[in-house]
Each structure stands twice: as C-alpha cells, then as structure tokens.
Amino acid sequence: MSQEFITISPIDGREAVRRPYANEQQIQAILHQACAAQRQWQDVDVLERARVLTQAVERFVAAKSDIAQAITTQMGRPSRHAPLEVDGFAARARHMIAIAPYALQPVAAAPGSDRERFIRREPIGVTLTIAPWNYPLLTAVNSIVPALMAGNAVILKHSEQTPLCAELMHTAFMEAGLPAGVFSYVHADHATTQRLVRAPEVGFVSFTGSVRGGRAVEESAAGRFIGVGLELGGNDPAYVRGDADIEAAAESLVDGAFFNAGQSCCGIQRIYVARRVHDAFIEQAAVLTNRYVLGDPRDPATTLGPVVRAAAAQGVREVVEQAVRQGARNVADAAYFPAARAGSAYVAPALLTHVDHTMRIMRDECFGPVVGVMPVDSDDEAVSLMNDSPYGLTAAVYTRDREAAIGIGQRVHTGTFFMNRCDYLDPGLAWTGVKDSGRGVSLSVLGYEQLTRPKSFHLRMA
C-alpha cells in the first residue's frame, strides 16, 4: 500500500503536489480532537459562531490569488475563471451564515395543547465532508459552513487531485480563530476514507462525486443509522422552445455545456430544440463553440483548459467517436483547436447533431466539453426525452412563457428546474437530486435539517 500520493497537473503532466497519507495513529488523533472540540463548539452562541466563520471567510477570500493559482495548477481551470470559484465560495458561505439564526431556531409545535412544546435543532456531532476536484471549493462549502454553523465539528477529506484546497481552507479558518479540532482535514486513500465513514465518532457524511463512489459510501455506512448526503452525477437536459430568444439561449447553453471543460455535475449535456428553430440554434451555437480558445490555462487568453487528466480526455474522445460512428455529426470545427491532441488532457469541444438516445452522450454522464442537440416536435416529446435518463440533478427550459415553463418543470424529474438559465446554484434554494443524482439536501434553510437532529421538548408545569 502506498504511503503517499502525487497530484499530476493536467497542464503539462508534471508533479504538482506530493503528500503523505494519514496513518491510523493520525486518524485516531483527528477523530478524538474533533469530538472533544465539538462538545465545546456546540455551546458557543450561534451569533459568535457567525462572527468567527465570517472572519474565516474573509481570510480565505484575502488569499484569492493563491487559491485560484492552486485550482489552475491542480485541475486545469483557466486562470481567468479560477478566481470566480473563490467568489462563489464566499457568497454561499455568507448566505448560509446569515440564515443560520433563523434556520436553527426552535420550532413551535402546532396548536392543540395547553402544554409548552417545541422542537430544538441540535448538532449531530462530527461530520465528514468528502469533496471532489471539479469544483473543489463550491462542493465543499455546501456542507462545511452550515455544519460548523450548526455546532458540528467537520473533517474534510478532499480529492487527491486538489489537496491544496483543503490545506488553504484550513489555514484561513485557523487564522480566523476557529478552535483547534473544530475544522480539520485529512489526506486519505479509499480504504482509509471508508474507515472514516465507519468510524463511530462520525455522525454524518456529505459526499459529492460519482454514482459508484456514492454507492461505496452507502455501503460503508450501512447499519450505522447515520445520515448520508449524496450529490452524484448528472446528464442534465435543456429544452429550447419555439418562442425562445435563440441568441440568448445559445449563449447560455454553450457556456453551460463547456464551462470548466464540461466537468460539472450540473453542466448541460443534452439539448432538445423545437424543430422550427433547431437549425438557427445550431448555427448560433456552432459560432460560439468555435470561439473557445483551448490551451494552457495559465495563459489569460485561454477560455477552455484541459480536462483533469489524459485518461479522462481519452474517455471523452471515445464518447464523441462512438456517437459519430452511430451517425452523429460534430459541427465544432477542429481547425479552431490545434491544442487538442491524442495522449494529452487537451480535448476539443464537441457540438453533436443527429444524435439519439442510443448514444452514450445522451444516456451517460460525460465529464468533458461535449453536448448533443436533438430536434423535437412538442413539449410532450421534450419532457419525455428529458426524463429518459437515470439522472435528475438540474434541467432547464428556454421560453418567453412563464406558465409553460412552470408546467414543464412540474413534469420533469429533477432536483432543480430553471427558466432561461442553466448550470447555476442558488444558495437560497435546496440543492438536491433525484434518481442516480443522489439524495439529501444541502444549502437553503432545508440544508440545516440534515446537519442537525431534532429534539422535542414537552413541558408540564407542576
């Protein structure tokens, strides 16, 4: 068994980070310290927790340039885009801090008794956050900050592709005065991560990653009777109705498909377009796709960086090649993307037409800059195709008709439904999925429910 891991940068295939895995003695110490620190942290007033965590967020934002550089180096996001994730981290954290006093206040029982009755929301204890590399800050903040605001201690296990994000976050939080042990991180392999899920000290697990990874977490937690929040994969659809603003829809959906090199669980992968505007949409989308600049993400001119590793790029190419063999046409012009080359992590964007649901691009999650576009003849056909997927994280419709959008949204099996936008997460709304996209809720006031346990009080005066 390896005692360390090496992070390879997709930019040039060179070593970016080398770290030792935590050993059993270190794991035991982290768990023990987290339990001890949590017992004291839960007694800290929620407004004081808010003060400390607000300071932690400010410390983190102050290191934006270093954090953005770490993101670019570790997973290849263009340097012009990487700072946006720090801003997003801060916005989500500040929102969850602001709503905590309301979300955590006692709940009065419904009228019907002359006794005093209420329900308190109490912390679970120690929570484990298992975060992925594709959005190393945004996925982590969804559980870390509300868990801490609720009075829990948090142990963060980050992806081996983005270990610096965990370290930089921990440094900022400690410098802000968060008590030692309340927030910690651990570099762990799969076996040790499963051991953490099974650890009796851990009372809740938040996992963001693949469906296979989610199943592994559920299996490790089986029989423990603890909460498990799973935010898993997606193959998210969009529908462009005949009354849509085609130019605006194309601009939004091309960005939704290709931002972060398509490595987003809620990125757009399937687009259904009303037949009468299909050709106009394709024409506009092709122009926008061919404007991307694929290259070294450290170059300010680059708008499309590499995918996370060369093997992932090869997998994306295979999905495109398979679709083309089955009759699809790629209307993105390869001549615009000379940086794309076999054996590297650099893969050109693909805008596929003449696709159908026998193709992997329309059925499975493809974590890369690839999107398929199909014409449809009615709202009913669009809804049927949107629902023809094992995933259900987000879905979008582009239309000028609000009532039609709501009606379609009620019929689509998804966790979040958008009108005239996509690939976005509003911290004021519940972030959740259906089917193989997972279960549980993060963000919004509902996000506090899975990070606390209810305790009922029934008071009878003598």
Q: Which helix (H) or strand (E) holds 55?
A: helix 46-62
Residue 407 in 3-state DSSP?
Answer: helix
**pLDDT per residue over 406-429, tens digit each?**
999 999 999 999 999 998 999 999
Residue 231 bears catalytic tag: yes
CATH number, domain of 383, equals 3.40.309.10
Q: What is the pLDDT of residue 136?
A: 97
**Residue 445 binned pLDDT confidence (cut-offs 50, 70, 90):** very high
Average pLDDT over residues 91-105: 98
CATH number, domain of 201, equals 3.40.605.10
Task: Yes or no: say if 230 and 217 are a contact pair by the CB < 8 Å rule.
Answer: yes
Is 265 a domain residue?
yes
Its pTM surpasses 0.85: yes
**Residue 61 binned pLDDT confidence (cut-offs 50, 70, 90):** very high
Is 88 a domain residue?
yes
Q: How many structural domains does the chain have?
A: 2
Q: Cα separation of 398 and 252, whole Å?
A: 10
Q: Are residues 276 and 415 in the same domain?
A: yes
HEC states along 114-163? CCEEEEEEEECCEEEEEECCCCCCHHHHHHHHHHHHCCCEEEEEECCCCH
Is 11 a domain residue?
no
Q: Are residues 245 and 227 in the same domain?
A: no
Secondary-structure breakdown of the chain: helix, strand, coil percentages, each rounded to the nearest 5: 40, 20, 35
Q: Are residues 443 and 344 in the same domain?
A: no
- The label of the residue with tokens 């300010």 reads 300
Task: Yes or no: say if 194 and 216 are a contact pair by the CB < 8 Å rule.
Answer: yes
Is 141 a domain residue?
yes
Distances (CA, A) of 331 to 238, 290, 306, 320: 19, 9, 20, 12
Q: Are residues 202 and 72 in the same domain?
A: yes
**pLDDT per residue over 280-306, tens digit each?**
999 999 999 999 999 999 999 999 999
Q: Cα separation of 427 and 435, whole Å?
A: 22
Q: Quick one: which of 270, 52, 262 has its CA closest to 176?
A: 52
Is 14 a domain residue?
no
Q: Are residues 174 and 276 in the same domain?
A: no
Q: Are residues 444 and 415 in the same domain?
A: no
Q: Are residues 186 and 264 in the same domain?
A: no
Residue 121 makes CB contacts below 8 A (sequence gap 6+) with: 103, 104, 105, 106, 107, 150, 448, 449, 452, 453, 454, 455
Q: Are residues 385 and 297 in the same domain?
A: yes
Is 124 a domain residue?
yes
Mean pLDDT of the chain: 97
**Residue 113 binned pLDDT confidence (cut-offs 50, 70, 90):** confident
For 275, the domain range is 236-426
Instruction: Name the least confident of 18-22, 77-81, 109-113, 363-367.
Output: 109-113
Is 166 a domain residue?
yes
Residue 1 in this model has a pLDDT that exceeds 70: no
Is 225 a domain residue?
yes
Structure tokens at 7: 């992070």
Average pLDDT over residues 374-402: 98
Q: Are residues 151 and 205 in the same domain?
A: yes
Residue 2 in this model has a pLDDT that exceeds 90: no
Q: Quick one: which of 125, 106, 133 has its CA closest to 16?
A: 133
In Å, how far from its chain's centre is CA 69? 20
**Catalytic residue, candidates 231, 247, 251, 381:** 231
Q: Cα separation of 171 and 428, whole Å?
A: 27
**Residue 432 binned pLDDT confidence (cut-offs 50, 70, 90):** very high
Count CB neighbours of 112 within 10 A.
7
Question: Which amino acid type is present at position 200?
Answer: P
Q: Are residues 366 and 220 in the same domain?
A: no
**pLDDT per residue over 62-93, tens digit each?**
999 999 999 999 999 999 999 999 999 999 99
Q: Are residues 211 and 240 in the same domain?
A: no
Q: Are residues 226 and 300 in the same domain?
A: no
Residue 462 in this model has a pLDDT that exceeds 80: no
